[in-house]
Structure 1
Amino acid sequence: MAGRLKQPTGRYGGRSAEERQAERRRRFLDAALQVFGDRPGFRSATVAALSEAAGLSTRQFYEEFRTLEDVLAALHLQVNDWAEQAALTALAEAGELPLAERAAAVFRAYAADVTADPRRIRITFVEIIGVSPALEEQRLARRARWVDLICAEADAAAARGEAAARDYRIAATAFIGSVNGLLHDWSAGRVDATLDQVVEELVRQLLGILRPSGWSPEAHRVRPPGSGPLPSRGSPRGE
Structure 2
Amino acid sequence: MTRNEWRGATVEKLCSAAGLNKRYFYESFTDLDSLSAAVVDDIADGVRSATVAAADEVAQQPLEVQALVSVAAAVRALVDDPRRARVLLGGVAASPELDAHRATVMHRLTDVLIDHGRTVHGVELEKDPLAKVAPAFIVGGTADAILGYVNGGIDLSIDDFIAQLATLWLVTGNGAAQVARGRMPQPGPLKGA
Work out whether the TM-score is over 0.5. Answer: yes
Q: State the alpha-carbon separation in 1 of the partners of residues 143 and 77 from structure 2.
A: 13
**Match for residue 190 of structure 1 among 127, 146, 153:** 153
Q: Is the 8 A contact 2:7 2:94 kept in 1?
A: no
**Aligned partners of 1:145, 1:64: CA distance in 2, in Å?**
24
Q: Structure 1 residues 193, 165: closer, same or farther in 2, change over 3 A? A: farther
Structure number with the bigger relative contact order (C-alpha 8 A, sep ≥ 6) is 2
The equivalent of 1:37 in structure 2 is 2
Counterpart of 2:48 in 1: which secondary structure? helix
Matched, 1:168 2:131: yes
Unpaired segments of 5 or more residues in structure 2? none
SS of the equivalent of 1:66 reads coil
2:44 equivalent to 1:80:
yes
1:98 aligns with 2:62: yes
The DSSP-based 3-state class of the residue aligned with 2:156 is coil
CA distance in 1, matches of 2:111, 2:145: 20
Structure 1 residue 48, shift from structure 2 partner: 1.4
Match of 1:59 in 2: 23
Q: Which has the higher helix share?
A: 2
Aligned-partner Cα distance in 2 for 1:142–1:164: 22
TM score, norm. by length of structure 2? 0.83
The alignment status of 1:119 with 2:83, answered yes or no, reads yes
Where in structure 2 are the equivalents of 1:115-154 lying within 5 Å? 115-124=79-88, 125-127=90-92, 130-132=94-96, 134-154=97-117
8 Å Cα contact 1:79-1:120 kept in structure 2: yes
Query: Where in structure 1 are there 5+ consecutive unaligned residues?
Result: 1-35, 228-239
Shift of 1:224: 9.6
Structure 1 vs Structure 2 CA RMSD: 3.0
2-structure distance, mates of 1:226, 1:96: 36
Measured in 2, the distance between the counterparts of 1:210 and 1:120 equals: 26
1:237 alignment partner in structure 2:
none
**Structure 1 residue 165 displacement after superposition:** 8.7
Residues 115-168 of structure 1 deviation map (CA, whole Å, 9 limit, x = unaligned): 1111112211223x5512x323211111111211221111211239xx999442
What is the total number of aligned residue pairs between the two structures?
A: 185
Higher gyration radius (CA): 1
Residue 170 of structure 2 corresponds to 207
Q: Deviations over 1:170-204 (max 9, x none)?
A: 01111111101111111111111011111111111
User: Is the 8 Å Cα contact of residues 6 and 94 (structure 2) preserved in structure 1?
Assistant: no
Q: Structure 2 CA distance, aligned partners of 1:152 and 1:186? A: 27
Q: Name the CA distance, whole Å, in 2 between partners of 1:165 and 1:153.
A: 15
